[in-house]
Amino acid sequence: MLKLIRRAYAIFKAYALSDLVRSKGFVYGLISFSIWILLFMSPLTLFMDPQQSPQTIAAYSFTAILIFMFYGAATWDWAAELRWMINDGRLEYYIASGSGFLPHYLGILPISLIWVFFAMIVNYIVLSIVWGPPALAVIDISMFIYGLVLLIINLIAYAFILGGTIIASGVSGFVMEIISFILPVATGGLTPLSKLPKPLQTFALLTPFSYPAEIIRYSMLGWLPVIEFPQLIARGMLFAIAFLTISLTYFRYQIKKILREGTRATALW
């Protein structure tokens, strides 16, 4: 256990120095993110209820971007990390040495959370300038925590699926861009399910992603979900566990496959 912690700390320290301290990309990323948020969210005012207060609109936007940012972290920080592991030989080292992936991801997880934290601060400032301070209030802390736990479980499973696809095909960016932009919209990550057409509601409820989004929206905005709470809670956990089991099985299968066939060269797109 002590060795695992030391390895995870070494990974965290290396990534913190390269990504947060020495790299100007962190600052440039936050600046470009603020501009992107402004361009992305402003057209939504065309579809908002004119009777809604600007602060309420800002609160809806804040929760939507929060969920989207977690999708982005799972896509580019967790799954896409395998691309760099393959290209610089670390994947083969982790497999051959038997050290595994856990220390590596325990080290980079805090970096992802730090990035999301600072990005959401920028998001809050931009929304406050455009519409006013978001009217946020956690009305049910237990549901909020439960929703975050479900979201993280689903995103870990989602990263396993994307990571396995990278290992299997050598393709990353193209697939990730399509999936990471379609999933939040199609599964109610950016919009309450009650605002979506009925067929899209049905589709979203067949995926594990809709349940944490509905729970988080309720706990922060008071927006009632489209199904009853006991069913929402039970189905959310059931879907999350099933999704994690399937994705982990798929990822392990791809790892065993490269032991026979070797790794494929991966490209950004």
pLDDT digits (tens, 9 = 90+) for 12-21: 887 777 766 6
pLDDT digits (tens, 9 = 90+) for 124-135: 888 888 778 887
**What is the mean predicted confidence (pLDDT) over 115-144?**
83
Give SS3 for 89. Answer: coil
pLDDT at position 249 is 93
pLDDT digits (tens, 9 = 90+) for 144-156: 899 999 988 998 8
State the amino acid at position 112 in one-letter form. Answer: S
Whether residue 125 contacts residue 212, with contact meaning beta carbons closer than 8 Å, is answered with no
Q: Nearest 5°: phi and psi at 97?
A: -80, -15
Q: Which pTM does this prediction carry?
A: 0.80
Distances from the Cα of 98 to the Cα of 21, 90, 92, 266, angstroms: 31, 12, 10, 23
pLDDT digits (tens, 9 = 90+) for 218-230: 888 888 888 888 9
